[in-house]
Structure 1
Amino acid sequence: MAPLSSSRSPWWSAATGDSSEALVKCMMWPVAVMLVIHRTVILAVNGARTDDFTGVYRAAVAFWNREPVYTAVYQHVDPHYLYPPSGSLLIAPFAVVEPESSRWLFIGVNAVAVLVAVYLVVRMFGFTARSAALPVVIGISFASESVINTLVFTNINGVILLGQIAFLVLLLARRDLWAGVAIGLTFAIKPILAPLLLLPLLRRQGKVLITAAAVPILLTALAWPWAADPWQFVVRTVPYLLQSRDYFNSSITGNGTYYGLPEPLVLLLRVGFAVLAAATMYLLYRYHRRDEVFFVVTGAGVLMTASFLLGSLGQMYYSMLLFPLLVSVVLPQSVMRNWPAWLAVYGFLSADEWYSGRWVEAGRYAEYMRPTLGWSFLLIVIFAVLLDRRLSSRRRDQARTVSVSRAS
């Protein structure tokens, strides 16, 4: 009688005797692929009420034709075009394609950027493309609010994420000038990653700053003569960027303004979390040489989380810039190996909506506040974990000293 099964499984299956990693890959690859297709081809192409692309496309066309770009009425709540002239130069090629195809191209560029960024993150932690880590991280990424809304709103955050990950990878490889180029290209669009420049300073990689500054300066120098109204960015857009709006803003100042909190209380919260972030970086600094990957990805997570809370604008889909910190859970010493950290992650990464027909006000509060509370709680958890490790290390050192003195 012929055997019921062969000892060698076909490529499309994972036999019971195979490793658990093979089983995870068998489960997660189809899920990850379908999530990517659904988010990119269905949800993103369908679009939503929030449309970040139309303003970008109009600006690209205006810049291409040497017409005024910075003409938005900032008192309206519609998405505004806020890129500097260097950003207008980089997005200008999208103007040569008709609007719908240009939007699809923009979605595709950002989806591919997220996929490449995820691959680089996985490689950063020592996993290969054949490992189960890749489909798992792809699946989680494309199930998150950050990636979904980046694609659906047709925002450029996917490209910013790729610039961030390239910067971290090159920083760890000590390719300082190229690391500066990677983050400098993101600065040419928007300076959201600026807090990460503290990392090369702490690691004594000052050459990063040369190209990080040179790239946006060079692109600005190229764009300025072509632009019709470059000074309007300085006199109109920059002041608006420095203000804290009270809509679609999950920063401390944004929620404080929306809920009418007293200004002294808002200031106290901002100062408190700034001190907490600084103390966390101080505790983290001891790892900057003995465990470089842990220091860089955790430091990047702390700096970006603090910037979301403390800046003038913090939007929930910025949370994709915390992906390296989340994947660091694979490291034995990771600060993410506890359930409170992942409760915080749920707050700012989940695509769930908490609006309630029965508890209207409570549901609205939960929906509006969950990214702010998630970022805040994550900073508190990271500080607590690092402080506990520092205190435990001191207690062990003291006990060792006492035992040696007694023995002598």
Structure 2
Amino acid sequence: MRWDRSRAVRIGARAVMAAALVTAVALFVFGNPPLLRLLPSPLVPITHVDFDTFWRSARALVNGTGIYDTDAKLHNLNPPILSLLMAPLGMLDAVLAYRIFVTLTVLMVAGSVFAAARELRIGRFWTVVAVVSVLASSPLHGTLALGQIYGILLLGVTAGWIAERRGHPVLAAVLYGVTVAIKPSLAPLLLLPLVQRCWPAFRAGVAAAAVTTLAGLVAAGFSTGPQWLRMALTEPVATVLDNAALPGLAIRWGLPSLVGTLVGVALMIGTLVFFGIRTVRHGTSAAYGTDPAGVAPWAVLATGLLTAPISWHNYLILLWPGLLVVVASGRAGDARRVVVGALLALAFIPITWSDLWAPGDPLTPAGQALYSAILLACWLTLLRPATGPWWPDTAPGSGTGDPFRSAEVTARPSG
């Protein structure tokens, strides 16, 4: 019976993988031009709208004017620290600055995924799959075309995760804190040391976020803090299909956004409580000791993305290293590895998916849920190494004791 259920999961995941790849190829061939064709465009304010927003704020900071009072097409919903980080690009021509930023983003994304694969020692095959899949994914293409900052965020979270795996939870918390200061929607990461009773790490993370935020306010002016808060809190929930957050999905399904928010908060609290209970059961305050797989930050991060008012599908690249943790926790032919392969394949489906769904079509609600479903599936899959088997292992006698039994990812001593 165990074998039959596992076989069903593998067959279903492979069917999803095949369907996703066929759909992605069809949309690339018959749909709108791929996003990668937009990268060479010199029309920064029109094509690379997110980067134009950040660049104008950075340029305003360099020139000593208001970073939120620019002529950008979109509102800058990021704290002042981002303008400080991008100030060097604000000194350059917009087109040159964009091309430098895109190059750095590719390096940060590919480098972070490669570093995670090496840290997990998942082997050459899965390392190549991980790097190639993220480079070929629609979320990365959208990130590059629009000029979004997810490469910076991925670098920060990956560096923190590696520090924690290597026995440095305080350093990890500091890196998470800095990342959260850049993108506050990732704030649930700072709650993880709290529920894991790792008090020094919790204090360090909160302090790092506060100091980083203060640095941005000092550079841009303290008046920019309330100004940013007003814009961030009054920005409406995006209803477009590529907002994968649950509040956006609720609106697309004709429900109040509060419904999606409450579901997301419930998932977040449940995930945090789960890892908190593990800490109590293990009787230790060492965060890594209760999370030997190193999966907790990624699972919590996924709940933050589900709960935020806006989480573009492009945010999915932030979860790539977490999915590799699931790969490392399995064995060749294990169902969980096939499930990860299906999730990576689903990420190839481009945003032209939205062109298939007309208002009033009975299938439109299901089609509009795709990106949210992918994010939900990632969250569920990310919990797999830290829980009992939701589907059985394929190898006879493999057991279900240590959820991260692979010798290639044993914990390292601190120091």
Is TM > 0.5 for Structure 1 vs Structure 2? yes
> Cα offset for 1:195?
1.7
Q: Deviations over 1:269-292 (max 9, x none)?
A: 446544654565468666876674
Q: Deviations over 1:127-172 (max 9, x none)?
A: 57xx344322110111112211111111110111010100000011
Is the counterpart of residue 323 in structure 1 residue 317 in structure 2?
Answer: no
Of residues 62-71 and 324-333 in structure 1, the stretch that sits farther from structure 2 once superposed is: 324-333
Distance 2:369 2:357 in 1: 18
Task: Find 1:239's aligned residue among 222, 233, 238.
Answer: 233
Task: Find 2:211's aligned residue among 204, 218, 237.
Answer: 218
CA contact (8 A) 1:252 1:270 kept: yes
CA contact (8 A) 1:244 1:253 kept: yes
Equivalent residue for 2:300? Answer: 303
Equivalent residue for 2:10? Answer: none
Distance 1:40 1:358 in 2: 20
Distance 1:216 1:272 in 2: 24
Distance 1:195 1:357 in 2: 35
SS at match of 1:188: helix
Equivalent residue for 2:251? Answer: 257
CA contact (8 A) 2:120 2:325 kept: yes
CA contact (8 A) 2:163 2:172 kept: yes
CA contact (8 A) 1:283 1:390 kept: no
> Cα offset for 1:345?
5.3
CA contact (8 A) 2:159 2:172 kept: yes
CA contact (8 A) 2:114 2:127 kept: yes
- Number of residues paired by the alignment? 349
What's the % identity of the aligned pairs?
21
Distance 1:81 1:251 in 2: 19
CA contact (8 A) 2:299 2:379 kept: yes
Distance 1:118 1:259 in 2: 34
| Paired residue type of 1:151 | L
Equivalent residue for 2:177? Answer: 184
> Cα offset for 1:181?
3.3
Q: Deviations over 1:329-384 (max 9, x none)?
A: 43345897165665555555643643466977467545532111222344456668
Q: How does 1:150-161 map to 2 (within 5 A)?
A: 150-161=143-154
| Paired residue type of 2:52 | T
CA contact (8 A) 2:323 2:340 kept: no
- Going from structure 1 to structure 2, the CA distance change for 1:54 and 1:384 (only over 3 Å counts) comes to closer
- Going from structure 1 to structure 2, the CA distance change for 1:381 and 1:161 (only over 3 Å counts) comes to closer
CA contact (8 A) 2:98 2:147 kept: yes
Unaligned segments of structure 1, at least 5 residues: 1-38, 398-408
Distance 2:216 2:183 in 1: 15
- Going from structure 1 to structure 2, the CA distance change for 1:198 and 1:349 (only over 3 Å counts) comes to farther
CA contact (8 A) 1:176 1:208 kept: yes
> Cα offset for 1:246?
3.0
| Paired residue type of 1:190 | K
Distance 1:221 1:362 in 2: 50
Distance 1:230 1:71 in 2: 10
Distance 2:169 2:303 in 1: 25
- Going from structure 1 to structure 2, the CA distance change for 1:291 and 1:337 (only over 3 Å counts) comes to farther
| Paired residue type of 2:375 | W
Distance 2:112 2:210 in 1: 25
Q: How does 1:264-275 map to 2 (within 5 A)?
A: 265-266=259-260, 269-270=263-264, 273-274=267-268
Distance 1:273 1:249 in 2: 18
Equivalent residue for 2:69? Answer: 71
| Paired residue type of 1:373 | A
Distance 2:357 2:199 in 1: 56
TM-score, normalised by the number of residues in structure 2 = 0.70
| Paired residue type of 1:331 | A
Equivalent residue for 2:409? Answer: none
Is the counterpart of residue 167 in structure 1 residue 167 in structure 2?
Answer: no
- Going from structure 1 to structure 2, the CA distance change for 1:50 and 1:211 (only over 3 Å counts) comes to same
CA contact (8 A) 2:78 2:228 kept: no
> Cα offset for 1:64?
1.0
Unaligned segments of structure 2, at least 5 residues: 1-33, 393-398, 401-415
| Paired residue type of 2:336 | R
CA contact (8 A) 2:53 2:75 kept: yes
**Root mean square deviation of aligned Cα:** 3.9
CA contact (8 A) 1:157 1:318 kept: yes
SS at match of 1:162: helix
Equivalent residue for 1:337? Answer: 336
- Going from structure 1 to structure 2, the CA distance change for 1:261 and 1:113 (only over 3 Å counts) comes to same
Of residues 343-352 and 229-238 in structure 1, the stretch that sits farther from structure 2 once superposed is: 343-352
Equivalent residue for 1:372? Answer: 372
Report the structure number with the largest CA radius of gyration.
1
